[in-house]
């Protein structure tokens, strides 16, 4: 056996071994510490192992023939095909398809359908294996079209994608009708979205004349063709679904749509404006705002754009008012044991708010986007084609960045009310607070280039400061100093800022690993002091009494937090927005440029006249003050905490969030913290607890390999990795004579 054959065989064996390991990782945890063989037998000696072995063989083929595969990866339709296929796979493995059947996962529903007599034949076939066969055929047709360049394969894949989406919806409806009860599963809708993406891939394969796909150019052209129109189209789809079929009230029992809600509250004393909204006003505002913003974005008429934006804003306010009115009356009538407003509301009203917001945002983008956008997009597309500033060329079409921001704002405002209590708690106590911590640490690690492994100490200081000022510690403040948690925010910020100065003053003359070790020790010192100072911190038990929830009492205005998690979410969202806007200005200021200079080369920065010690100290102080704000929210939201909430592991996690998202990038720090705090909670229902960290580690490892700059890298970081100017050479390049034609 020659060397090449030996390497090929070793590669095959390694891929098969990795497939067997994946088979052990994926699936329910079986057996126990005294009987490992049972778990191995259940994982490896069954039909399911063939799927993983097939994945291993596919990985082997991909690695072996990778040089031949690479040219095809740049062709139009490849990445929509991959995205659509992954979406369908995720929907048919991870998501719920029928809430009344077992754990509602696709596999459970498929097993129940296989053992049920009387179910519609199409549904039995779909859940019996047709679902996977359709996906495989669509992907094979797309792959054949991409490789051969024959457009008929693309048309066939597009048609089959539509048929598959229809079959999935009909099969899901048949199961729900057969089982009965209220169903709010989302698996079928995600599956339909996946097939719509595959439909897009098929149309691209069938209609594209290019040999090489340019995703950035396509996105810029789509967004810049008619600024604001994508937002209007998304809002139109959301609004039609929410007003026609989505649940507005009592999702657990009545599952009432907008029309059903109007009938339910007829004659109950509902406010006249809410009655009219349920009867005709909601549809009217939606239709008129859609026409105004749609015409404004298509014809580029700015006055109509402003009118559409104003009507969209009015529609959002009226929708929220209507939701408040019907939930209040529902609570007065004790519907489903409700005892206050904002309860028993379905997703329909909040989807309508999102739709009207996006339609109005589309009008706003159309009204504010610069004119002559076709020429701008053409110039930007030429920049992308020539390879200039790859990171900066993305989303450069007029209104593209604003459109992205509007979608993010709509999700942040109107998705949380549709989530269940568990995910609302995760949004506040995990995602929101760790986003604040990541944004603060990004100043130290991402902008100034200082590795801080004790950042969680300032978080602890902010929490204990809050507990002291509200009187929850053994040591009480003077009566004139005791206050609500909201009033404690300035004090926590100042104390954490002083703590940052106290840590940085003697240590910032150190560099690299030495600074990291000192900050690590500081974090452990704060935690150990909190454990041992029983008379001050109450030791390992934490505060003596619960840290109260914030209260605002200004005459007729009285707001008490703690009734639900959404109150904290919106308050936290305001503070995150303020911090991000302030840090955005700071990044582009003289101090921000000084931090960048120190990060790149401290000696050179000092030679140019920058007081490096003062600037680094300022980075430590500003980052620490942000942790103080996060500490206030954590203490007041959770009520009780202990020193174990501030372990070294939490500091390392925050550093991982910043690195994963993109060091030096504010959007990257936010995205990294949100994704890596969401992922462990999501994996709780997908993989055994013992395997959860392994999956998270695999995600981080893949990110570091395939996207070393992070999820959303900073422009400077992207330039460092990809080069600032990679224009194609226009002059001929000399080659050896032997390599000529």
Inter-CA distances, 363 with 232, 238, 318, 387, 649, Å = 8, 16, 19, 33, 46
168 is a domain residue: no
Q: Which residue, chain included where needed, has tokens 């570091």?
A: 704
pLDDT at 240 over 60: yes
In a domain, 111, yes or no: no
- pLDDT exceeding 70 applies to what percent of the chain? 88
For the cut 90, the answer to whether the pLDDT of residue 738 exceeds it is: no
Is the domain of 371 the same as that of 511? no
Q: How many residues are given for the chain?
A: 741
**pLDDT at position 588, please?**
83
- On whether both 382 and 239 belong to a single domain, the answer is yes
Q: Are residues 221 and 333 in the same domain?
A: yes
pLDDT at 584 over 80: yes
356, pLDDT greater than 90: yes
Least confident of 396-410, 461-475, 486-500: 396-410
Q: Which domain holds residue 8?
A: 3-64
pLDDT at 234 (0 to 100) = 92
Count CB-CB contacts under 10 A for residue 284.
13
Q: What does the alpha-carbon distance between residue 405 and residue 695 come to, in Å, rounded to a whole number?
A: 30
The average pLDDT across 450-469 equals: 90
Residue 382 pLDDT: 43
- Note whether residue 192 is domain-resident: no
Q: Are residues 234 and 321 in the same domain?
A: yes
Domain boundary among 386, 418, 450: 418
Mean pLDDT of the residues in the chain: 83
Instruction: For the beta carbon of residue 47, count every other beta carbon within 10 angstroms.
Output: 6
Specify the pLDDT at position 533: 85
Same domain for 381 and 463: no
Report yes or no on 86 lying in a domain: no
**Sign (positive or negative) of CA dihedral 284, 285, 288, 291:** negative
184: helix, strand or coil: coil
Of the ranges 82-96, 102-116, 684-698, which one carries the lowest mean pLDDT score?
A: 684-698
Q: Give CA–CA dist 87/79, Å, rounded.
A: 12
* Distance, first Cα to last Cα, the chain: 35
32 pLDDT higher than 60: no
Flag whether 81 is in a domain: no
Residue 633 has pLDDT above 70, yes or no: yes
Query: Which DSSP string corresponds to 238-302?
Result: HHHHHHHTS--B-TTTT-B-HHHHHHHTTTTT--HHHHHIIIIIHHHHHHHHHHHHHHHHHHT-H
**Same domain, residue pair 614 and 698:** yes
Q: Residues 523, 629: one domain?
A: yes
Report the range of poorest mean pLDDT among 35-44, 304-313, 356-365, 456-465.
35-44
Q: Which tens digit of pLDDT belongs to each residue from 680-712?
A: 888 877 776 766 777 788 888 888 877 888 888
pLDDT of amino acid 732: 45
| 404 and 446 assigned to the same domain | no
**CA pair distance 407, 355, nearest whole angstrom:** 10
Same domain for 524 and 400: no
Q: What pLDDT is recorded for position 1? A: 54
Q: Do 146 and 213 form a contact (C-beta atoms < 8 A)?
A: no
Say whether pLDDT at 670 is over 70.
Answer: yes
pLDDT at 475: 87
Kindly state whether residue 133 falls inside one of the protein's structural domains: no
Q: What is the mean pLDDT of residues 429-457?
A: 89
| pLDDT number for residue 719 | 62
Q: Encoding tokens for residue 184?
A: 């709010």
- Specify the pLDDT at position 360: 94
Q: Do residues 445 and 396 share a domain? A: no
Q: What's phi and psi for 423, nearest 5 deg?
A: -75, -30
Cβ contact 554:490 at 8 Å? no
The per-residue DSSP string of 177-233 comes to HHH-S-----HHHHHHHHHHHHHHHHHHHHH---SS--HHHHHHHHHHHSTTHHHHH
How distant, in Å, are the alpha carbons of 299, 364, 369 from that of 303? 11, 10, 13
- Kindly state whether residue 444 falls inside one of the protein's structural domains: yes
Residue whose C-alpha is closest to residue 455's, from 621, 317, 259: 621
Between these two residues, 153 and 46, which has the higher pLDDT value?
A: 153
What pLDDT does residue 380 have?
43
Residue from 550, 252, 564, 628 nearest 425 by CA? 564
Sole residue written with tokens 């077992």: 102
Q: Which of 148-152, 310-314, 636-640 has the highest mean pLDDT?
A: 310-314
| Same-domain status, 401 and 528 | no
Using the CB atoms, write b or e for 512-534: b if 16+ within 10 Å: eeebbebbbebbbebbeebeebe
Q: What pLDDT sits at residue 142?
A: 92
d(CA 471, CA 481): 9
> In which band, very low, low, confident or very high, does the pLDDT at 375 lie, cut at 50, 70 and 90?
very low
Least confident stretch, 66-80, 115-129, 396-410, 530-544:
66-80
Looking at the fold, whether 531 and 593 belong to one and the same domain comes out as yes
Name which residue leads in pLDDT, 704 or 489: 489
666-683 and 648-661 helices cross at what angle (nearest 10)? 120
Is 734 contained in some domain?
Answer: no
- Residue 459 scores a pLDDT above 80: yes
Tell me what pLDDT residue 342 has: 84
Instruction: Report pLDDT digits (tens) over 722-732.
Output: 554 444 444 44
pLDDT in tens, 539-581: 888 888 888 888 777 666 677 776 677 888 888 898 899 999 9
**What is the structure's pLDDT at 296?**
92
Residue that is written with structure tokens 């929509």 in the block: 80
Q: How many domains does the chain have?
A: 3
């Amino acid at each position: 056996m020659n060397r090449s054959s030996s390497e090929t065989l070793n590669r095959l064996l390694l891929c098969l071994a990795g497939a067997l390991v994946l088979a052990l990782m994926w699936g329910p945890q079986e057996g126990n510490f005294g009987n490992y063989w049972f778990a191995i037998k259940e994982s490896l000696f069954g039909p399911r192992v063939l799927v993983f072995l097939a994945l291993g063989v596919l990985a082997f083929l991909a690695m072996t023939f990778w040089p031949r595969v690479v040219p095809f990866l740049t062709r139009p339709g490849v990445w929509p095909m991959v995205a659509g296929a992954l979406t369908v796979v995720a929907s048919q493995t991870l998501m719920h398809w029928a809430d009344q059947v077992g754990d509602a996962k696709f596999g459970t529903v498929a097993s129940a359908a296989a053992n049920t007599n009387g179910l519609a034949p199409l549904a039995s076939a779909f859940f019996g294996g047709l679902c996977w066969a359709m996906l495989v055929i669509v992907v094979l047709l797309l792959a054949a079209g991409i490789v051969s360049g024959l457009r008929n394969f693309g048309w066939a894949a597009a048609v089959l994608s539509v048929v598959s989406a229809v079959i999935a919806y009909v099969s899901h409806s048949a199961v729900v009708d057969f089982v009965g009860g209220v169903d709010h599963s989302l698996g079928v809708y995600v599956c339909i979205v996946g097939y719509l993406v595959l439909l897009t891939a098929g149309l691209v394969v069938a209609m594209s004349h290019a040999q090489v796909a340019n995703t950035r150019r396509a996105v810029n052209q789509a967004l810049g063709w008619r600024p604001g129109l994508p937002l209007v189209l998304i809002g139109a789809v959301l609004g039609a679904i929410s007003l026609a079929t989505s649940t507005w009230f009592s999702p657990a029992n009545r599952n009432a749509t907008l029309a059903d809600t109007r009938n339910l509250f007829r004659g109950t004393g509902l406010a006249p404006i809410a009655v009219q909204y349920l009867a005709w006003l909601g549809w009217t505002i939606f239709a008129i705002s859609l026409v105004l913003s749609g015409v404004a974005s298509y014809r580029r008429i700015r006055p109509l754009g402003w009118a559409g934006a104003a009507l969209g804003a009015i529609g959002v306010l009226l929708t929220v008012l209507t939701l408040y009115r019907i939930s209040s009356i529902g609570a007065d009538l004790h519907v489903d044991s409700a005892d206050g407003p904002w309860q028993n509301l379905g997703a329909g009203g909040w989807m309508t708010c999102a739709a009207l917001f996006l339609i109005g945002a589309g009008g706003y983008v159309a009204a504010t986007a610069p004119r002559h956008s076709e020429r701008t997009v053409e110039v930007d597309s030429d920049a992308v084609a020539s390879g200039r500033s790859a990171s900066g060329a993305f989303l450069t079409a007029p209104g593209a960045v604003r459109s992205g921001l509007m979608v993010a704002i709509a999700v942040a405002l109107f998705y949380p009310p549709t989530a269940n209590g568990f995910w609302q708690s995760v949004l506040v106590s995990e995602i929101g607070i760790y986003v604040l911590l990541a944004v603060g640490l990004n100043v130290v690690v991402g902008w100034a280039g200082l590795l801080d492994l004790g950042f969680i100490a300032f978080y602890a200081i902010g929490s204990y400061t809050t507990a002291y000022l509200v009187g929850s510690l053994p040591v009480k403040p003077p009566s004139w100093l005791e206050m609500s948690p909201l009033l404690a925010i300035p004090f926590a910020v100042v104390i954490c800022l002083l703590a940052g100065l106290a840590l940085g003053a003697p240590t910032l003359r150190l560099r690299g690993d030495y600074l990291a070790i000192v900050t690590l020790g500081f974090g452990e010192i704060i935690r150990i002091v909190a454990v041992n100072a029983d008379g001050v911190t109450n030791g390992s038990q934490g505060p003596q009494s619960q840290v109260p929830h914030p209260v605002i009492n200004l005459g007729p205005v009285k707001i008490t937090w703690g009734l639900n998690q959404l109150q904290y979410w919106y308050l936290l969202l305001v503070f995150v927005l303020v911090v991000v806007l302030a840090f955005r200005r700071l990044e582009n200021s003289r101090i921000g440029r000084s931090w960048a200079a120190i990060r790149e080369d401290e000696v050179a920065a000092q030679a140019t006249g920058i007081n490096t010690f003062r600037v680094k100290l300022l980075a430590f102080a500003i980052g620490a003050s942000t942790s103080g704000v996060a500490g206030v929210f954590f203490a007041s939201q959770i009520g009780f905490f202990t020193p174990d909430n501030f372990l070294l592991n939490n500091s390392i996690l925050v550093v991982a969030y910043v690195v994963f998202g993109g060091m030096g990038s504010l959007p990257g720090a936010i995205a990294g913290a949100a994704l890596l705090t969401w992922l462990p909670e999501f994996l709780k229902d997908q993989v055994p607890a013992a395997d959860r960290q392994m999956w998270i580690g695999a995600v981080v490892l893949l990110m570091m390999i395939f996207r070393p700059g992070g999820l959303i890298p900073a422009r400077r970081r992207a330039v460092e990795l990809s080069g600032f100017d990679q224009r194609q050479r226009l002059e001929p390049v000399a080659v050896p004579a032997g390599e000529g034609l």
